[in-house]
Chain A
Amino acid sequence: SQKIEQNSEALNIQEGKTATLTCNYTNYSPAYLQWYRQDPGRGPVFLLLIRENEKEKRKERLKVTFDTTLKQSLFHITASQPADSATYLCALSSGGYQKVTFGTGTKLQVIP
């Protein structure tokens, strides 16, 4: 069956360092992969989308890589700040707009 795993349930990092979050998937051929941020009691907020034929995408302090051979995406936040503390979810879709499956999430805590 399809599985999407984010390797850490929780990640603590010192302010100013780069946070790296991992998303691994099995039995899946995603057409694209997304990353969302979710704060407690709120809906997820879209951050970045990367397609299967793209290796890397950047937006301000955020960078996403996508390796379809390793079946893995890495999500980097550079110069992390306490305001970056949240749960980060990867989400995969095999095509079309409709069915998006979310990973288990990683709770990031940036320590001042």
Chain B
Amino acid sequence: DTEVTQTPKHLVMGMTNKKSLKCEQHMGHRAMYWYKQKAKKPPELMFVYSYEKLSINESVPSRFSPECPNSSLLNLHLHALQPEDSALYLCASSRISGRLGEQYFGPGTRLTVT
């Protein structure tokens, strides 16, 4: 199984809402990532978890709160977002040892903040 799944596919939320994005993989990967991608731009790294611990936070505003409950799941909790946070949010996973680098991406969640 080389699939990374993300739910929901689409999300519309107001600036006062609280919502969560979910990501799951069953490839045994111990590194998981959140990226943000705006239209016609490359993915931008937000967070990296390795062995379920946060290892990289790319100075992301605190209205984005990641969580890794176990080695297969990754959540991104959203609160008090701004319209400019509207984007495609991508989850990815990769090995930590052995063949490095290759990342497997989910289909993304299209987020619209109104």
Contact = CB atoms under 8 A, between A and B. Distances in A.
B95 interface: yes
Max chain A C-beta neighbours (<10 A), residue from B4, B40, B110: B40
B42 A105 contact: yes
B56 A44 contact: no
A100 B94 CA distance: 11
Interface string B63-95: 000000000000000000000000010101011
Interface in B80-114: 88, 90, 92, 94-96, 100-108, 110
B55 interface: yes
Interface residues of A, number: 21
A98 B48 contact: yes
B101 A93 contact: yes
B27 interface: no
Contacts of A105: 40, 42
Interface in B21-64: 31, 40-45, 48, 50, 55-56
Nearest to B49: A98
A101 B107 CA distance: 19
B107 A100 contact: no
Interface residues of B, number: 28
A41 interface: yes
B49 to A, nearest CB: 10
Given A41-B110, A42-B107, A43-B107, A98 B31 contact: yes
A89 B41 CA distance: 10
Contacts of B43: 44, 89, 102
A112 interface: no
A97 to B, nearest CB: 5
Contacts of A93: 101
Contacts of B88: 41
Interface string A91-112: 0010011111111110000000
Given A32-B100, A101-B45, 14 more contacts: A32-B101, A34-B101, A34-B102, A34-B103, A41-B88, A41-B107, A43-B4, A44-B90, A46-B102, A49-B101, A89-B43, A98-B50, A98-B56, A103-B42
